Amino acid sequence: MSELTLTLKGDAASRLERLLRNAAYSNAETAVADALEALENYLAPELDNWLREVVAPRLDAMRASPGTSLTADQVRARLFGKA
């Protein structure tokens, strides 16, 4: 099993101490593991859907017709109203 040591400071440390003090968790490892699992479960489906539904089709379109893609400078110009 892997081992990782984290140092929390400021608000993050205070929040973890509060969770432990309020007996929500018996130890810091359990609290951090639950937080990581919740984050993973929250982000994974949304990220996967975005990559599949938005990014992949756009990448396919760019590959199919590279001449229609904008350069970084062209994108900046459009963003800043100079095009």
pLDDT at 70: 87
Assess contact for 50 and 57: CB atoms under 8 A: no
Question: For the chain, how many structural domains are there in total?
Answer: 1
pLDDT at 83: 60
pLDDT at 48: 85
Domain-located, residue 74: yes
Phi, psi of 27 (to 5 degrees): -155, 165
Segments in the chain below pLDDT 70? 83
Q: Quick check: pTM over 0.95?
A: no
Give tens-digit pLDDT for 52-74: 999 999 999 989 998 888 888 99
Domain-located, residue 3: no
* Structural domain boundaries enclosing 72: 10-79
